[in-house]
Amino acid sequence: MKKRFLFLIVGLNLLLISSISMSIAWFIGSLRLTISDILIKIDVDADLKISAENNLEYARDSLTEDDFGEVESFVPVSSMGSENSEWINNADNTKPVFAAQYKTGFRPDPKAKVATKGFFTRRLFLFSDHHMLVTFDSEHTTITPNLRLNQAKALEKGNEKAIGDYKEVADIEIARDQITDESEKQAIYERVKNELTVKYANEIVNSLNKIEDSLRISILDYENLTHNNYTIIDPKKSEDPVVFGGRLSTSIRKDYFDYYSDYPDLKETLFGDYDFNEGYYDLPYLAPATEDMPATEGEHTCFNAGTRKGVCPLDMDELPNVVTFATEQSISPEVADVSKHPSNEQEGFLIELFPGVAHPLTLSVYLEGWDRDNVDATQEAAFDMSIHFKLYRQGDF
């Protein structure tokens, strides 16, 4: 039998709009990802077609941005709260429900609201002239940084940063070498500015090229064959799970974790989706810090900060005994691809297509805010994505 592949190719160039604050994550809402170009195309043989409408008449072998409408912007969101939720068990629901950004940590129990924008999601309909099973194609699905756009952006941002720094750096060299000639000074200014631009650009491009590390692909399908109707695919899946909780440092608190007033004490705020373990009802805290305690190592990010003087830090050693955090229920592309483990078809993504019958599914692309790679060191990055599906088996079965 000739093998047929269903390729759903999503070309996404995502650009992060500049933010004046650094190392701030999804819960702030200060960042915006915008799609500069989106191309969704499907290349198939005559047996497989796709449509943005539940009508075979409109099904064809390719779709473009005209079929999906304008995508306003991307901001980091989260799938936390999805497992066993009401919406995930309601077949009338046509799209996933994501948690929006946290805005503040002044309260002891901050809650994330439902995100109404900031991610790409679209209902699609697959059609086939034959009875077949379709799965995710892990070999052809790719997410790659757009090296050309990222290099150009890095040079632009590197030059902006160098403009603010080069005179101070050059003046040190001029004073050290006792340069008095104005033409020599200008030459030094120009050289130092160029050197700093290259240095900063090299640092920035490395961060830009990591934008895909916190990206997710999700598929909502109430008619699939696998045990879960909502599949989250983490293209960079690692052994360490993404934990939906922890301390956070917001722009309000700058280099320190957020805290709130529990008179007469100040206590660090615990964010996220967690439950108290049996027999525990209060979070564990240490004595108030007697001095500012900055992050011990690495650059400051929303997940890596310090404790402010006078604030009771959370006892992070005792915390795992007291609360249990929810974790992201994502799988790798290889697990999503049932052809990689045919002995266990209940794991991964598998749908059944019947001749001439529309099969609805909702494809979403979003940034997982609780992924520790999701900080704005990757601001203004661009990348390309291609998502593929393939024929797993043709029926009758």
Contacting residues for 125 by C-beta, under 8 A, at least 6 apart: 50, 51, 52, 53, 54, 55, 59, 358, 359, 360, 361
Cβ atoms of 118 and 73 closer than 8 Å = yes
Assigned token pair, 129: 């002239």
Cα distances from 254 to residues 244, 271, 286, 344, in angstroms, run 21, 16, 21, 48
Q: Do residues 375 and 282 share a domain?
A: no
- In terms of DSSP bridges, do strands 330-331 and 230-233 run parallel, antiparallel, or are they unpaired? parallel
Q: Do residues 158 and 231 share a domain?
A: no
Q: Which of helix, strand or coil describes residue 68?
A: coil
| pLDDT greater at residue 307 or residue 15 | 307
Rounded Cα distance between 3 and 5, Å, is: 7
Share of the chain above pLDDT 90, in %: 44
pTM of the model: 0.83
Among 325, 349, 382, where does a domain finish? 325
Cβ atoms of 281 and 236 closer than 8 Å = no
Rounded Cα distance between 216 and 226, Å, is: 19
Per-residue pLDDT tens over the stretch 282-295: 999 999 999 999 88
Q: Do residues 132 and 13 share a domain?
A: yes
Rg (CA), the chain: 25
pLDDT of residue 68: 67
Q: Do residues 219 and 363 share a domain?
A: yes
The single-letter code of the amino acid at 351 is I
Q: Do residues 341 and 388 share a domain?
A: yes
Report the 10 Å Cβ neighbour count for 139: 12
First to last CA, the chain: 14
Residue 335's H or E segment, with its range, is helix 333-336
pLDDT of residue 322: 97
| pLDDT greater at residue 140 or residue 1 | 140
Per-residue pLDDT tens over the stretch 60-109: 776 666 676 655 566 788 999 998 899 998 989 999 999 987 877 778 88
Mean pLDDT of 380-393: 78
* CB-based burial label for 380 (10 Å; 0-12, 13-18, 19+): buried
Cβ atoms of 138 and 340 closer than 8 Å = yes
Among 205, 229, 253, where does a domain finish? 205
Q: Residue 320 belongs to what domain range?
A: 245-325
Q: Do residues 42 and 164 share a domain?
A: no
- 5 backbone φψ class: left, alpha, beta (φ>0; ψ -120 to 50): beta
Confidence of residue 278 (pLDDT cuts 50, 70, 90): very high
Q: Do residues 86 and 216 share a domain?
A: yes
| pLDDT greater at residue 34 or residue 330 | 330
Cβ atoms of 60 and 49 closer than 8 Å = yes
Q: Do residues 349 and 387 share a domain?
A: yes
Total domains in the chain come to: 3
Per-residue pLDDT tens over the stretch 180-193: 999 999 999 999 99
Of these ranges, 199-208, 210-219, 237-246, the one predicted with the greatest mean pLDDT is 237-246
Q: Do residues 295 and 249 share a domain?
A: yes
Cβ atoms of 326 and 244 closer than 8 Å = yes
Mean pLDDT of 260-264: 93
Q: Do residues 10 and 98 share a domain?
A: yes
Least confident of 7-16, 84-93, 219-228: 7-16
Q: Do residues 276 and 200 share a domain?
A: no
Rounded Cα distance between 182 and 110, Å, is: 58
Confidence of residue 2 (pLDDT cuts 50, 70, 90): very low
Report the 10 Å Cβ neighbour count for 88: 17
pLDDT of residue 11: 37
Q: Do residues 130 and 177 share a domain?
A: no
Instruction: For residue 320, give the nearest of 246, 377, 267 by alpha carbon.
Output: 246
Among 325, 347, 373, where does a domain finish? 325
Residue 219's H or E segment, with its range, is strand 215-220
Per-residue pLDDT tens over the stretch 316-369: 999 999 999 999 999 999 999 999 999 998 899 999 999 989 999 999 988 898
Torsion of CA 59, 61, 65, 68, to 10 degrees: 30
Mean pLDDT of 54-65: 73
Can you tell me which residue has the tokens 């006792």?
Answer: 178
Assigned token pair, 96: 């996933």
Residue 114 backbone phi and psi in degrees, to 5: -75, 135
Residue 40 backbone phi and psi in degrees, to 5: -115, 115
Cβ atoms of 145 and 209 closer than 8 Å = yes
Instruction: For residue 81, give the nearest of 363, 348, 349, 328 by alpha carbon.
Output: 328
